[in-house]
Amino acid sequence: MSNILSEKIKRAFGRIEFPSHCGLHAAVAMDDWISDEITLRNLTLEKDFAGDWWDVPIEHLLNCMTGLSYLDADGIEFYLPAYMVALIDRPEAFYISELFSRDGTLIFSMLPEYDDDEDFRTYFEEQFAKIVGHKKKVCREFLEFIRLDEHYSRQAKELSIKALESEYWANG
């Protein structure tokens, strides 16, 4: 099932233009209060892998997990499928301990509602604006896969259930 889902993700997302204005490393820098667009673009061009999303090194994905919160719609469209395929194909790489696992961080980034915070929901909808049609459908399949598969943390499973119960992932 996991290989089939990885292939479905690859087909649904296809080739996506690299977000040269703000990649993963720049998004992490934003977490450190860096907001200058030129600095962010330079960080992206110097540190990020600029090929196809399916070739982004897993080390970049794992080392830049905090950047997920700062990616815009172009960044989410490019990096989300890379993260999903990496988590499906290499779940052990995301596992740190019973107390903390990176798989929950990824699933949290797919959660459209958090404590009924309207600002959070609006930001999520802006980030996920390009995740529509087949892309959105395969994301729902991914969340369902995480919910059911034994390779993922309790936190990731609970967050995937919460995401799947949301109106956002239930519709469209």
Q: What is the pTM of this model?
A: 0.94
**Over residues 25-41, mean pLDDT:** 93
Among 80-89, 95-104, 147-156, 161-170, the minimum mean pLDDT is found in: 95-104
pLDDT, one tens digit per residue, over 88-109 is 999 999 987 666 678 999 999 9
**Over residues 69-73, mean pLDDT:** 96
Q: What is the 3-state secondary structure (H, E, C) of 67-108?
A: HHHHCCHHHHHHHHHHHHHHHHHCHHHHECCCCCEHHHHHHH
160 touches 146 (CB < 8 A): yes
